[in-house]
């Protein structure tokens, strides 16, 4: 074994409710924004496949959890669907039963559930009330979070308030790739801010309900920013991209306050959100215990080539251009850059600048289009995925050698699943899913990860 991991390391994979459960109209689940958007504009979605059945986990969780066990998982990340669990503000008993069964089944198999409360799936009625633009919706989220802590907190010890909270901001309020398809930077900052307030209030509530050593955090998609060169303009471009896309959530979550440079920039553009008395203290007093890190690709930036139009509405990218580094390595099956060392740079940064917060790689993975082309002897020979995971894990291992406080690795994803705009185009799973029969078949990487987990290294 060349790369031995610490004894208590977590090996597993991640998913989210909307992407795997299916049963979107069953047992009293209310609509979320994805159900609604798909109903309204199916042609926006790849192959017009919507979130209604996805990977059918609602009905197959027992067998799926067995498969997790078979490949050596000691952890699994799932999310609770708010619109299933508390449609219109009241607990849906059937949904509570479902999540209880899933959690109990995981624990029976010695698989630690990592539970996330919000993965892009705002209940549609609450979106109509303004979604994260509204402070009342923040209170409704806190009520939902408290109910989850009360019902599942006796068994769940790793909680996350949000997955990638910046994505609904970018998608829904800046770049038009999520519902409600608004392009308005002022609303975007309000939404980002309210998400953070919702997060901090949930952390606060958690600490009054849970005194059994359980931990709570947030999951952030951290994209390290690399400047084209060391000239001051490129460095500034990269620093500002980092402020917008990483530190806007990382700093308040882990350090309890927003970076002053970010506040200055937003203020210059008249984009500061509305706040309430006590918010600052709320953030300061409710820092996270743990942090989930999703890492797929780096962000490479350079200074703007042309001055932005001063009359154009604000966009973060008025401060930088993106830059394609010559010779960069690409995932040629999906189109994202692969830069394995990025995962190490993130962990080092957390160690040096964020108090070495306890962290987990909560997503990392490789999407592949038309993956059936790698089928040989009825198994997908995903050597590229094994390579991808291995090369990232080497850097995680290196970070651990340097005392970075990283405790686990979740692949995105346990099985092929529906994705927000791309439906089933990019396959990510350890298990292939046949969309006609819903049959799961292990890929080569599933056997490989089993050995890794059993040996605690490779």
Binding residues (CB under 6 A) for ligand BGP: these are 16, 19, 163-164, 221, 294, 363, 367, 412, 419, 422, 426
| Secondary element (H or E) of residue 61 | helix 57-70
Sheet strands (E) in 178-241: 215-221, 225-227
Distance CA 458, CA 454 (A): 10
Distance CA 34, CA 49 (A): 11
The single-letter DSSP state of residue 371 is G
Strand pairing category for 440-442 and 379-380: unpaired
Q: At what angle do helices 185-209 and 135-152 cross, to 10 degrees?
A: 30
Supply the minimum distance, in Å, between the C-beta of residue 371 and ligand BGP. Answer: 13
Query: Do 145 and 161 form a contact (C-beta atoms < 8 A)?
Result: yes
Query: Do 180 and 33 form a contact (C-beta atoms < 8 A)?
Result: yes
CB closer to ligand BGP out of 5 and 57: 57
CB closer to ligand BGP out of 238 and 294: 294
CB closer to ligand BGP out of 149 and 412: 412
- What b/e readout covers 23-60, taking b as 16+ CB neighbours within 10 angstroms? bbeeeebbbbbbbbbbeeeeeebeeebbbebbbbbbeb
Distance CA 382, CA 43 (A): 31
**Which tokens hold the place of 99?**
């999540």
CB closer to ligand BGP out of 81 and 419: 419
Strand pairing category for 299-302 and 321-322: antiparallel
Looking at the DSSP bridge assignments, the partners of residue 114 are: 77, 158
Q: Where do the H-state alpha helices sit in 323-371?
A: 341-353
CB closer to ligand BGP out of 163 and 210: 163
Supply the minimum distance, in Å, between the C-beta of residue 92 and ligand BGP. Answer: 23
Which residues, including other chains, have CB under 8 Å from residue 59's CB and lie 6 or more apart?
22, 23
Supply the minimum distance, in Å, between the C-beta of residue 136 and ligand BGP. Answer: 26
Supply the minimum distance, in Å, between the C-beta of residue 411 and ligand BGP. Answer: 11
Supply the minimum distance, in Å, between the C-beta of residue 420 and ligand BGP. Answer: 6
CB closer to ligand BGP out of 16 and 214: 16
CB closer to ligand BGP out of 133 and 416: 416
**Which tokens hold the place of 176?**
């038009």
Phi, psi of 91 (to 5 degrees): -65, 130
Phi, psi of 194 (to 5 degrees): -65, -35
Distance CA 1, CA 453 (A): 12
CB closer to ligand BGP out of 175 and 209: 175
Supply the minimum distance, in Å, between the C-beta of residue 125 and ligand BGP. Answer: 23
Supply the minimum distance, in Å, between the C-beta of residue 66 and ligand BGP. Answer: 24
Supply the minimum distance, in Å, between the C-beta of residue 192 and ligand BGP. Answer: 16
List residues with catalytic annotation.
363
Query: Do 361 and 407 form a contact (C-beta atoms < 8 A)?
Result: no
Which residues, including other chains, have CB under 8 Å from residue 405's CB and lie 6 or more apart?
350, 351, 356, 357, 358, 359
CB-closest chain residue to ligand BGP: 419
């Amino acid at each position: 074994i060349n790369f031995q991991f610490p004894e208590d390391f977590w090996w597993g994979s991640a998913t989210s409710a909307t992407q795997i459960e299916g049963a979107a109209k069953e047992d009293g689940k209310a609509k979320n924004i994805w159900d609604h958007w798909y109903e309204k504009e199916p042609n926006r979605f790849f192959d017009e496949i919507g979130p209604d059945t996805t990977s059918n986990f609602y009905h197959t969780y027992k067998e799926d959890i067995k498969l997790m066990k078979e490949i050596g998982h000691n952890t699994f990340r799932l999310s609770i669907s708010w619109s299933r669990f508390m449609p219109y503000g009241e607990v849906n008993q059937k949904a509570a039963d479902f999540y209880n069964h899933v959690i109990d089944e995981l624990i029976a198999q010695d698989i630690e559930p990592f539970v996330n409360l919000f993965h892009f799936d705002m209940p549609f009625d609450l979106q109509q009330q303004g979604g994260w633009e509204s402070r009342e919706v923040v209170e409704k989220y806190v009520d939902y979070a408290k109910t989850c802590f009360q019902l599942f907190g006796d068994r769940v010890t790793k909680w996350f308030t949000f997955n990638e909270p910046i994505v609904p901001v970018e998608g829904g309020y800046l770049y038009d790739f999520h519902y409600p398809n608004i392009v308005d930077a002022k609303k975007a900052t309000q939404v980002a801010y309210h998400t953070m307030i919702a997060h901090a209030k949930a952390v606060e509530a958690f600490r009054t309900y849970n005194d059994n050593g359980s931990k709570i955090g947030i999951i952030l998609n951290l994209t390290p920013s690399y400047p084209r060169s060391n000239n001051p303009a490129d460095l500034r471009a990269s620093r500002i991209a980092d402020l917008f896309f990483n530190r806007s959530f990382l700093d308040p979550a882990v350090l309890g306050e927003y970076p002053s440079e970010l506040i200055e920039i937003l203020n210059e553009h008249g984009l500061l959100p509305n706040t309430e008395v006590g918010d600052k203290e709320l953030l300061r007093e409710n820092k996270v215990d743990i942090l989930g890190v999703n890492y797929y690709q780096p962000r490479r930036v350079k200074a703007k080539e042309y001055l932005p139009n001063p009359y154009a509405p604000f966009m973060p990218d008025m401060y930088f251009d993106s830059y394609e580094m010559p010779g960069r390595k690409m995932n040629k099956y999906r189109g994202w850059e692969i830069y394995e060392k990025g995962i190490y740079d993130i962990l080092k940064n957390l160690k040096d600048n964020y108090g070495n917060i306890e962290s987990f790689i909560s997503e990392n993975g490789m999407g592949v289009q038309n993956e059936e082309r790698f089928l040989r002897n009825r198994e997908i020979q995903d050597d590229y995925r094994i390579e991808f995971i291995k090369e990232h894990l080497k850097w995680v291992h290196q970070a651990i050698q340097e005392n970075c406080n990283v405790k686990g690795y979740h692949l995105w994803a346990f099985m092929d699943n529906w994705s927000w705009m791309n439906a089933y185009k990019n396959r990510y799973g350890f298990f292939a899913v046949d969309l006609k029969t819903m049959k799961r078949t292990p890929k080569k990487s599933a056997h490989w990860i089993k050995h890794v987990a059993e040996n605690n290294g490779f």
